[in-house]
């Protein structure tokens, strides 16, 4: 790990510099998932994205505490500059891993880029989280893309054959559409498709999407069933490296918390989003503490693309998050709240060292 001591001290003690960024490289998408939070009818959604010149200035401003960037969208591989954006982070920041949230439709482009990046940056772990909501035509119909399931599974299998530092993963978001079929979906993916790495998300109120209250308990019960199956079959992240083992332990801790708070929302751990350990960058340069809060940290254009100046200008927001005991079920924020928790650090370290 690059800058191990500085990164560790920031996570465990300082909690004031970015460890992870979720970067929406585009809002464009070839799918129209019913549970998506993006309002595609809003003109602001399709506003101009940051140029490569702007992005280079922003990336070069980031402190060397950054461990991971999650490139998402929309569909990130629809962004024409996606490879160049990847290389900016890889060449100018201290990241150890790069995460892609994708629907897996653009197989040829995904494979071409991943082959080049994995070869040029062999010490970086590239994780591809490929979304699957159902099997076959049910998945295609739900996401409104012809042959999406077939292309997504092709992307998964081709990625799995590239190299050790390319780690594909199937992510199921449990929602009303698939809640009653979750065991069948799991069995098909694991037995028929041969999926070796699988994680679970649970749908949440965000943006233009709202959960039907009448369906919430059904969704929750299916989510619990799915995470029990994942644990039983040991299908989370790869256990071949320290990061995968740590992430697996983190997932188990997060799942146990979600079982307690999804139907009965409450504060259980401090949140370090927003000028703390993580933040979210949108295509137009807006920066938010997370995907669920509507309190904007600022826009990069107003800070001459200097993310650290923007970051340090958010003491009031950090104080509000702390004093209000802000809480949610946003998996990305939860990941770093667990990783930075004195309560859980010993278990995480033990898990990372255990082969």
| pLDDT at residue 40 in the model | 64
| pLDDT at residue 255 in the model | 86
Report pLDDT digits (tens) over 246-276.
888 888 898 888 888 888 889 999 998 877 8
Q: Is the pLDDT of residue 244 over 80?
A: no
Q: In the structure encoding, which two tokens stand for residue 292, read together?
A: 């669920």
| Greatest extent of the chain over all pairs of C-alpha atoms, in Å | 52
Helix (H, G, I), strand (E, B) or coil at 126: strand
**For residues 320 and 225, what is the distance between their CA atoms, to the nearest angstrom?**
35
Mean pLDDT (whole number) for 65-79: 95
pTM: 0.91
CATH class name, domain 4-353: alpha beta
Mean pLDDT (whole number) for 19-46: 81
Cα dihedral 230/225/213/211 (nearest 10): 20
Q: Is the pLDDT of residue 144 over 70?
A: yes
Q: Is the pLDDT of residue 211 over 60?
A: yes
E-state strands within 182-224: 198-202
Q: Is the pLDDT of residue 208 over 50?
A: no
> Which tops the pLDDT comparison, 96 or 250?
96
> Which tops the pLDDT comparison, 3 or 227?
227
Among 180-189, 218-227, 233-242, 316-325, the least confident range: 233-242
E-state strands within the chain: 20-24, 68-72, 97-102, 125-131, 166-174, 198-202, 278-281, 286-288, 298-299
Mean pLDDT (whole number) for 170-191: 96
Average pLDDT score, the chain:
90
Phi, psi at 209, each rounded to 5°: -95, 135
Report pLDDT digits (tens) over 76-92.
999 999 999 999 999 99
Mean pLDDT (whole number) for 198-225: 82
Report pLDDT digits (tens) over 309-328.
999 999 899 889 989 999 88
Mean pLDDT (whole number) for 123-132: 97
In Å, how far are 97, 241, 345 from 351, measured between CA atoms?
A: 19, 11, 10
Q: Is the pLDDT of residue 305 over 70?
A: yes
Which H or E run contains 251? Answer: helix 242-261
Mean pLDDT (whole number) for 58-67: 96
In the structure, what pLDDT confidence band is assigned to residue 209 with cuts at 50, 70 and 90?
low
Strand partners, 129: 101, 169
Strand partners, 9: none
**For residues 308 and 301, what is the distance between their CA atoms, to the nearest angstrom?**
13
Q: Is the pLDDT of residue 25 over 90?
A: yes
Q: Is the pLDDT of residue 104 over 80?
A: yes
Percent of the chain with pLDDT over 90: 63
Cα 228–chain centre separation: 21
**For residues 203 and 36, what is the distance between their CA atoms, to the nearest angstrom?**
9
In contact, 317 and 301? CB cutoff 8 Å: no
């Amino acid at each position: 790990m690059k800058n191990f001591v500085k990164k560790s001290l920031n996570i465990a003690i300082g909690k004031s510099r970015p460890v992870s960024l979720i970067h929406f490289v585009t809002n464009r998408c070839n799918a129209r998932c019913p549970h998506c939070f993006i309002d595609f009818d809003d003109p602001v959604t399709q506003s101009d994205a940051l140029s490569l010149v702007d992005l280079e200035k922003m990336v070069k401003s980031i402190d060397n505490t950054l461990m991971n960037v999650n490139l998402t969208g929309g569909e990130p591989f629809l962004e024409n500059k996606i490879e160049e954006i990847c290389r900016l982070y890889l060449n100018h920041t201290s990241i150890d891993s790069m995460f892609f949230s994708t629907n897996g439709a653009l197989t040829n482009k995904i494979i071409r880029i991943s082959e080049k990046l994995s070869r040029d940056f062999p010490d970086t772990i590239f994780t591809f989280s490929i979304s699957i909501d159902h099997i076959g035509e049910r998945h295609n119909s739900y996401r409104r893309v012809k042959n999406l399931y077939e292309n997504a599974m092709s992307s998964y299998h081709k990625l799995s054959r590239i190299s050790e530092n390319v780690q594909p993963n199937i992510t199921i978001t449990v929602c009303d559409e698939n809640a009653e079929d979750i065991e069948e979906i799991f069995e098909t993916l694991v037995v028929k498709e041969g999926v070796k790495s699988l994680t679970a998300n649970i749908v949440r109120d965000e943006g233009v999407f709202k959960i039907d209250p009448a369906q919430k308990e059904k969704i929750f019960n299916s989510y619990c069933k799915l995470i029990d199956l994942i644990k039983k079959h040991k299908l989370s992240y790869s256990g071949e490296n320290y990061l995968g083992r740590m992430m697996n332990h983190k997932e188990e801790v997060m799942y146990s918390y979600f079982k307690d708070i999804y139907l009965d929302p409450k504060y259980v751990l401090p949140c370090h989003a927003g000028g703390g350990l993580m933040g979210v960058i949108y295509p137009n340069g807006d920066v938010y503490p997370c995907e669920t809060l509507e309190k904007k940290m600022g826009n990069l254009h107003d800070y001459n693309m200097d993310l650290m100046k923007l970051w340090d200008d958010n003491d009031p927001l950090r104080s509000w998050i702390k004093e209000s005991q802000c809480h949610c079920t946003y998996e990305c924020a939860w990941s770093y709240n667990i990783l930075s928790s004195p309560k859980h650090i010993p278990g995480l370290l033990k898990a990372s060292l255990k082969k």
